[in-house]
Structure formats: C-alpha cells, structure tokens
C-alpha cells in the first residue's frame, strides 16, 4: 500500500507541475497567436514598409552565379503606388544610367517575394537569348526578377533568387550611389588592364605573417577572375566574380586570408593595383609584375629537331582571353589596312623544317597570297627566353621582297631582340591541340597558338 501511495503522490506532483508550467507560460512563441494568413500578411506589410523606408532607395550588387559570373550593381527606388525607379551598370551601351519607372509587386508563392513585373534593367540578366559565352547559351546571365524574402539583418533586406537560390542583399542607397554609378564603367579598363602597364598580373595575399602569390586572369565579358597558386606544394586557388565600384571592385566569394574573407578592393592609379585590407595586417592585392610569375622551359621544343609548328588561327583564336590587348589591336590594324574581303587567316611558326630552316608564314583570306619571314633561333638560357633573329622576307613565289608595311608592327613584336617567353598552357580552345602562348619580355604582347607536332 505504501508503494501505491507513493506512485499516486508522484503522479499528482508531476501533473501539478505541468499544469503550472502551462498557466505560467506567458512567453510563448507569438507566431502561434496568429493564423497563417495573418502571418503572411504581416510579412508582406513588413517587406513593403522596408522597401519604402530608405529615402534614396536600395543598392544591390547582384552576383547571379558566383561560380561563373561577376556582379552587376542595381539601384532601386520603390514608390507606394507599385512603381520602381531603377539604374544599373549591366551594359554601358544599352544602360544610359537614366532611371526608368516600371512596376513591382509583393507576391505570395512558396513564400513572400518581391517581383519586378514589367521589364526594367534587372530583366537583362534573365533573358535566355542574351548570353555572354557559349556555355551559357539559352541560359543568359542566370539572373532572376523574382526575389524571395528572407527577412532583415543589420539594416539590410535579404532575398534569395527564385531561380537558383542565390542570395541578394539590399543595402540602403545614398544620393552618391546614384550620382556615381556611371563611374563603375570607368573602372572597367583598370580591371581589364592597360596596354601601358606590364602584361603580367598576380594576386598576393598576406595574413600578417605569411605571403602567398597566385597568377591572375580576368574575363571582362563574364566579369570573372581566377587565381591559382604558383607555389610548389600549395594548391590553393580562388575563383571569384567581380563587381565594379566607383573606387575599385567587390568580389564574391571573398578572398580567404587567414581567418578573414576580404571582398572590397580599392584601386590605386599610381601602380594599377587593387588592395583589400582586413584586420591585423591582412591584405589581398591584385598587382602587376614585369615578368611571368613562373618562367618555363617550354621554349626548348622550338630548338630541337624534328620540325615543329605553332599557329595563330584567326577564326578560332581571335577571341582567346590569353591574347593581349596589344596583339588584338595590331591584328585589327592589319584588317583595317586590307580590303573588306581580306583578313588575317594564320600567323604560323615553322621551326627546323626538313632543310633546317625556320620561318613565319602569314596567310590571309580573300585571295591574298602568302608572305614568309625567315628567321634563325637563339636561346637566352639564363632568362629562359626564345629569340627570333630576323632574316629575309619572301613572296609566295620564293622571291625576296621588302618588309610589308602592314606586317611591320606585329612582326617587330615577334622578332623582339629581347626575346619571347613561351608557355605550354593547360587549357584548350575549341580543339584538342595543345595551346602555346608567345609573350614579349618587354611589351604588352601575347599571342595564342595551336601546336602542330
């Protein structure tokens, strides 16, 4: 009887505690005080209030997909009548920075969302027939015009794109943001790199104690950059989208330096560098170098028999990102001097043919005959450079001719007495042929070729 009494007593005590807890639970989650409809309506009202709360509207650097594309700055100024004023730096040729009015709605789908319902600048990123590279054919710039609302944090409005879940953060815009947006376009040539600067660039990180260096390449058409470690045994690499600002760039994802991620780079016109600064001495700097970060022995294949060949083929390599601005401009000059039916077809090196001779063959479309420039080869073994010593010019008939004026500039780069750096690249372009680049050791000249061996 005593045991039964004890069980009854314990059961009553536990029940009393539970009832007491229910009676005293005055801090219950308030979401249970509202119906689902009331909660949704509250979210919609919250978002609308937030959109209208910033006098100068909102700014978003929209990285549609930071694995392949860069960021596009958009400015929004929302009105209570459902219209929105907008500007962006998507494309200077079609984006005049004159803001336009269109309509927006706060809608309910899978969740509360902000949807731009009539065409405006944001829609350029979502048009499937407007794509920057072949890999994005029928996909466009992977952008969206419906943003799912995920709340607010530190004064920012947080969205995710309905298309791919990419996060977009709205930060309060200022009058200066609207006034200075055209300066984003002024920053583009600085990111691409000037022909007056050295050709070689690198990313250097410093966590306050240790420095690391990475090569740096940038594609302006996708606003995307890659940086690979040049250090043996250190395989870190960074792939990141780039967004332009009036004073520099912003990158996504950020560059990991120690325990910090650095995203905002400031441009220095004195040396062409971009610097992101963290705490405790952490920095990341994109800067120029007067020589390649890694100098290879790849040129040695041109010194050996049997015959080897390397050709720039205009139809396939004209858009290669590994061509320098100077090279592209020299090809454009040649084309400008020719009839409209004629273009450069190939610039082809032949080393050590069956007669032990080496020469460049310049060929053209449109019926223009071949032109040859003979040369001999020297090696700068100390500096790992290939030197082409110019010889005679010959017509297709074999007759010796004077140097053709239209080829003088491009040929002078190839016959630079200071020599050329040669690199066997790891990437391919259109075909399986190995890519070799020929780079001047003194000027901003780099030509991309297929190997024929």
User: Has residue 452 got a pLDDT over 80?
Assistant: yes
What would the 3-class secondary structure string for the chain be? CHHHHHHHHHHHHHHHHHHHHHHCCCCCCHHHHCCHHHHHHHHHHHHHHHHHCCCCCEEEEEECCCCCCCEEEEEEEECCCCEEEEEECCCCCCCCCCCEEEEEEEEECCCEEEEECCCCHHHHHCCCCCCCCHHHCCCCCCCCCEEEEEEEECCEEEEEECCCCCEEEEEECCHHHHHHCCHHHHHHHHHHCCCCCCCEEEEEEECCCCEEEEECEEECCCCEEEEEECCCCCCCEEEEEEEECCCEEEEEEEEEECCEEEEEEEEECCCCEEEEECCCCCEEEEEEECCCCCCCCHHHHHHCCCCEEEEEEHHHHCCCCCCCHHHHHHHHHHHHHCCCCCCEEEEEEEECCCCCCEEEEEEECCCCCCEEEEEEEEEECCCCEEEEEEEEEEECCCCEECCCHHHHHHHHHHCCCCCEEEEECCCCCCCCCCEEEEEECCCCCEEEEEEEC
pLDDT for 79 = 96
Q: Name the CA dihedral angle for 192, 256, 184, 99, rounded to a multiple of 10 degrees.
A: 140
Q: Which has the higher per-residue pLDDT, 106 or 31?
A: 106
pLDDT band at residue 194 using 50, 70 and 90 as cut-offs? confident
Phi first, then psi: what are they for 277, rounded to 5°?
Answer: -120, 130
Residue 100 pLDDT grade (very low, low, confident, very high; cuts 50, 70, 90): confident
pLDDT of amino acid 91:
85
Going by CATH, does the domain composed of 185-289 fall within 3.40.1130? no
Are the folds of 46-181 and 185-289 the same? yes
Q: pLDDT tens digit string along 236-292? A: 999 999 999 999 999 999 999 999 999 999 999 999 999 999 999 999 999 999 888
Give the pLDDT of residue 110: 81
Rounded Cα–Cα distance for residues 139 and 296 (Å) = 39
pLDDT of residue 26: 44
**Domain formed by 46-181, architecture:** Beta Barrel (2.40)
More confident: 314 or 101 = 314
Instruction: Report the candidate in 223, 216, 217, 245 with the shortest Cα–Cα distance to residue 143.
Output: 223
Residue 59 has a pLDDT of: 98
Q: What is the pLDDT of residue 165?
A: 95
pLDDT tens sequence across 270-280 = 999 999 999 99
Please list, residue by residue across 139-178, b when 16 or more beta carbons sit within 10 angstroms of its beta carbon and e when fewer do: bbbbbbbbbbbeeeeeeebbbbbbbeebebbbeebeeebb
Q: pLDDT by residue (tens digit) across 13-38?
A: 444 444 444 444 444 455 457 788 88
Asked whether the predicted pLDDT for residue 94 surpasses 90, the reply is no
pLDDT band at residue 3 using 50, 70 and 90 as cut-offs: very low
126 to 96, 129, 220, 222: CA distances (angstroms): 19, 9, 19, 15
Rounded Cα distance, 388 and 394, in Å:
17
Q: Which of 39 and 117 is assigned the larger pLDDT?
A: 117
Confidence of residue 199 (pLDDT cuts 50, 70, 90): confident
Output the pLDDT for position 304: 87
Which of 23-32, 101-110, 366-375 has maximum average pLDDT? Answer: 366-375
Which is nearest to 414 in space by CA: 391, 436, 387? 387
pLDDT for res 305:
83
Taking the domains of the chain in order of start, what are their residue ranges? 46-181, 185-289, 298-452
Q: Which residues contact 271 (CB under 8 A, 6 or more apart)?
A: 287, 288
Residue 97 pLDDT exceeds 70: no
Residue 374: pLDDT over 70: yes
Has residue 9 got a pLDDT over 50?
no
Regarding predicted confidence, which is higher, 329 or 195? 329
User: Per residue in 125-159, pLDDT tens?
Assistant: 999 999 999 899 999 999 999 999 999 999 999 99
Cα 373 from chain centre: 38
- Predicted TM-score (pTM) of the model is 0.75
pLDDT of residue 96: 55
Q: Name the percent of the chain lying above pLDDT 90.
A: 82
Q: Yes or no: say if 88 and 121 are a contact pair by the CB < 8 Å rule.
A: yes
The pLDDT confidence band at residue 321, using thresholds 50, 70 and 90, is confident
The pLDDT score that the predictor gives to residue 203 is 98
Please choose, from the candidates 335, 296, 331, the residue with its C-alpha nearest in 3D space to the C-alpha of residue 420: 296
């Amino acid at each position: 009887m005593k045991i039964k009494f004890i069980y009854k007593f314990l059961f009553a005590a536990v029940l009393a505690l539970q009832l007491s807890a229910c009676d005293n639970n005055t801090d219950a989650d308030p979401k249970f005080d509202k119906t689902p409809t009331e909660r949704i309506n509250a979210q919609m009202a919250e978002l609308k209030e937030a959109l209208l709360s910033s006098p100068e509207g909102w700014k978003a650097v929209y990285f549609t997909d930071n694995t392949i594309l860069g960021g596009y700055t958009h400015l929004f100024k929302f009105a209570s009548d459902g219209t929105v004023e907008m500007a962006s730096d998507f494309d200077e040729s079609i984006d005049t920075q004159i803001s336009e009015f269109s309509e927006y709605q706060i809608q309910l789908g899978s969740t509360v969302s902000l949807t731009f319902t009539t065409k405006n600048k944001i829609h350029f990123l979502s048009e499937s027939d407007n794509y920057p590279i072949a890999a994005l054919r029928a996909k466009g710039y992977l952008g969206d015009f419906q943003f799912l609302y995920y709340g607010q944090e530190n004064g920012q409005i947080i969205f995710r794109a309905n298309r791919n879940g990419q996060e977009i953060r709205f930060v309060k815009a200022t009058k200066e943001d609207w006034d200075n947006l055209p300066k984003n376009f002024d920053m583009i040539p600085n990111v691409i790199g000037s022909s007056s600067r050295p050709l070689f660039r690198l990313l250097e990180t410093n966590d306050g104690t240790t420095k690391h260096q990475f090569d740096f390449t940038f594609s302006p058409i996708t606003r995307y950059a890659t940086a690979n470690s040049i250090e043996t045994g250190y395989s870190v690499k960074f792939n990141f989208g780039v967004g332009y600002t009036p004073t520099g760039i912003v990158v996504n994802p950020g560059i990991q330096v120690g325990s910090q991620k650095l995203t905002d780079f400031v441009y220095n016109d004195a040396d062409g560098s971009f610097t992101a600064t963290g705490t405790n001495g952490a920095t990341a700097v994109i800067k120029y170098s007067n020589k390649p970060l890694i100098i290879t022995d790849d040129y040695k294949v041109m010194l050996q028999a049997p015959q080897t060949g390397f050709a720039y083929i205009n139809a396939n390599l004209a858009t290669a990102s590994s061509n320098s601005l100077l090279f592209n401009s020299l090809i454009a000059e040649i084309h400008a001097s020719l009839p409209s039916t004629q273009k450069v077809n190939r610039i082809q090196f032949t080393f050590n043919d069956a007669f032990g001779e080496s020469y460049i063959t310049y060929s053209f479309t449109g019926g223009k005959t071949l032109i040859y420039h003979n040369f001999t080869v020297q090696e700068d073994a100390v500096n790992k450079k290939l030197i082409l010593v110019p010889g005679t010019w010959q017509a297709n008939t074999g007759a010796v001719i004077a140097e053709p004026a239209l080829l003088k500039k491009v040929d002078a780069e190839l016959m630079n007495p200071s020599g050329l750096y040669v690199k066997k690249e790891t990437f391919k372009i259109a075909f399986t042929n190995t890519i070799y680049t020929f780079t001047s050791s003194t000027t901003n000249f780099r030509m991309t070729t297929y190997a024929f061996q």
